[in-house]
Amino acid sequence: MSVDSVAVTFELDGKTHTIVGSVAGGLRTCDDRFVTVATKEFPDAGVQLSLTEDSARANVAAWAVGDYAVQFLGEGDIERSNADSAVSGSNVSGTATVRVVPAGTTPRLKDLDMPGGDRVEATATFSVECPAP
């Protein structure tokens, strides 16, 4: 997975979907306990991590908008590479709220009725550049 990207995979109506978003050039805050990387413009995407004490596990929130709008919450192992300042997670398990995005539209996540979406099991994979403070 390329740096500064997030992907959320889920199954809906018997089909597997993966929504991928780029978070390059957006909001970026990083410290030893919290990481937030998100775009400021469409397509809407981001990842937010709350690191546990050993920094090998994190609570993960991720979101992306494509054919579907997806909000993911989960917990899993992450990797933090001091050499290249990358923070990544692969197939972090959790649940997601999913809504179909009407064709030809480019809504922001905040403009959609996400609580009214379908709740499904999902995984998130991400890799973000996050220099140490």
Q: How far is the C-alpha of 8 from the C-alpha of 16, rounded, in Å?
A: 11
Q: What is the pLDDT of residues 13-67, one digit of tens each?
A: 999 999 999 998 889 998 878 999 999 877 789 999 998 766 688 999 999 999 9
For the cut 90, the answer to whether the pLDDT of residue 101 exceeds it is: yes
pLDDT tens track for 71-86: 999 999 998 876 668 8
Residue 61, pLDDT score: 97
- What's the number of domains the chain is made of? 1
Domain interval for residue 28: 5-129
Give residue 54's pLDDT.
Answer: 62
**3-class SS string, 66-100:** CCEEEEEEEEEECEEECCCCEEEEEEEEEEEEEEE
Residues 93, 55 contacting (CB under 8 angstroms)? no
Report the pLDDT averaged over residues 98-121.
92
pLDDT higher than threshold 60 for residue 133: no
Tell which residue, 59, 89, 82, 61, has the closest CA to residue 133: 82
**Helix/strand/coil for 116:** helix
> Whole-model pTM?
0.92
Report the DSSP beta bridge partners of residue 77.
Answer: 57
